[in-house]
Structure 1
Amino acid sequence: MASIPSISQSQLFLNKPQFISTPKPSVFMKPISNPSQSSNLFVPQFKKPVVAAAGTAAEMAEEKSKKRYPGEGKGFVEEMRFVAMKLHTKDQAKEGEKEAQEKPLPKWEPTIDGYLKFLVDSKLVYDTFERIVDKADFPEYAEFRNTGLERAESLAKDLAWFKEEGYTIPEPSSPGLNYSAYVEELSKKDPQAFICHFYNTYFAHTAGGRMIGKKVAEKILNGKELEFYKWDGDLSQLLQNVRDKLNLVAEKWTREEKNHCLEETEKSFKYSGEILRLILS
């Protein structure tokens, strides 16, 4: 007997005529109240099909608004911290989630010239932030005046020390100039994005920035601690004060504005990373 060639389900579907049947209403039989009126003891009764009502746009929007974002219960700063941690690797932070680079990083060999470029560009960026909050094109910027986290004056002292030691202080380079210009532009039209950069710049320096400063000092400065890594008063309390201010400012934002702020985090890391790499140049 000749074998029957196998046919796939897809072929069967394509080759077999397709019939579209019209759904029939559900029927059940109901006894008539007076059997003598008819020879049929049952008459058909038709059930109305049950149709699930689609959610209205308002209901869907309400459901969306109930969505909880990571860290939201603790305030908006916690949301910003959570997003920032997603851009760290495990070796950079305990809560880091980003995959480590497959290629090994270049050997850690900072130079005085590279470090001076880093300090000069950093000062330009901090000068920009501090000038913006003093000018306060948007009222919420004024909340971040005189927080105790300011770094421009400290950096000016450090650069003056290097000059006294006989080093030539370079002019700002492209990474610092580009970031400064970008922050300046944001501050005039996009307060949510600007505040994202403000938060990441100042808070990152108190954590990973301090660790880098310590390594550089051990490697090329005979352990000298620069003013850049010193704060007047209790640093943990200074940070908490700014967290509180950030949370209060963000309470007035819509969920869309908060999300817009969070979306700016990656750009903040990109610009600051370019300045940081100057240390090894």
Structure 2
Amino acid sequence: MPLKKKMVVVSATTAEKPKKRYPGEAKGFVEEMRFVAMKLHTRDQAKEGEKESEGPPVAKWEPSIDGYLRFLVDSKLVYDTLERIVEKGAFPEYAEFRNTGLERSGSLAKDLEWFKEQGHAIPEPSSPGISYAHYLEELSEKDPQAFICHFYNIYFAHTAGGRMIGKKVAEKILNNMGLEFYKWDGDLSQLLQSVREKLNRVAESWTREEKNHCLEETEKSFKFSGDILRLILL
């Protein structure tokens, strides 16, 4: 009889063991994604950054029109692909991310048309953009958690660091002219908050393993996007 009591106590103690909390978890899954993404920035990009910079900071970039056009063309291919994927909806949760107001494909089309009118030749998409678009297509058909990681990082990074880069490039080679790529209809902070809520809602149905799998995809997202960003300096 005493032995039985002892077993009950041990069992209760085990049951009371606190479950692991992930950084940002208390605020919702988007905060977890943001935490992981910020750590992958370089120290000169963000105070939470842990990576060493591999090149000069944005302020010291010497962009060219040709390189910038390559970047815009490859970016458009990626946004075209993302918007087509959510429209097609291989998984039901993709429908949440249609017509969010963050879409960039139409804006990029206008910008490329403007460059064409200025007499610039618009290049074909290059290897970084083609590789990323192909990867997103494949991923979206079989791995919704990983795909949504890319969706989040592409759109949200563009509204933050992407806008800063666009401003610096405009200062250097566009006489401070702002492109449509960096303009949104409506209040951007409200658009972002709406998408945050949708992302959190979708992730509520995921297991912890699925959430971790999504977070683990962040590094790949940074690598693909970084390859496209470096086209500016060609």
Asked whether 1:120 is paired with 2:45, we answer no
**Residues 1:100 and 2:55 aligned together:** no
- Residue 245 of structure 1 corresponds to 198
Counterpart CA distance in 1 for 2:129 and 2:122 is 15
* Structure 1: 4+ residue segments shifted above 4 A: none
Map 1:127-138; keep pairs closer than 5 Å.
127-138=80-91
Residue 169 (structure 2) aligns with: 216
Question: Which runs of 5 or more structure 2 residues have no equivalent in the other structure?
Answer: none
Correspondence for 2:213: 260
Q: Distance in 2 between matches of 1:251 and 1:71?
A: 14
Q: Secondary structure at the match of 1:118?
A: helix
Does the 8 Å CA contact 2:39/2:51 hold for their aligned counterparts?
A: no
TM-score of the superposed pair, with normalisation by structure 2: 0.91
**Which residue type is aligned with residue 124 of structure 2?**
E
Whole-angstrom CA distance in 1 between matches of 2:211 and 2:17: 18
CA pair 99-271 structure 1, distance change in 2 beyond 3 A: closer
Note the 1:110-189 alignment, pairs <5 A.
110-189=63-142
CA–CA separation in structure 2 for the residues paired with 1:276 and 1:99 = 17
- Equivalent position amino acid for 1:155 in 2: L
**SS of 1:274 mapped into structure 2:** helix
Change (3 A) 1:126 1:104: closer
Aligned to 2:35: 82
Question: Which protein has the larger Cα radius of gyration, Structure 1 or Structure 2?
Answer: 1
Q: Residue 4 of structure 1 corresponds to which residue in structure 2?
A: none
Output the CA distance in 2 between the equivalents of 1:253 and 1:173: 35
Q: Report percent identity of matched pairs.
A: 79
Q: Secondary structure at the match of 1:100?
A: coil
Matched, 1:277 2:224: no
Shift of 1:123: 0.1
> Post-superposition shift, 1:220?
0.2
Ranked by relative contact order (alpha carbons within 8 Å, sequence separation 6 or more), the top structure is 2
Q: Helix, strand or coil: the match of 1:256?
A: helix
Gaps of 5+ in 1: 1-47
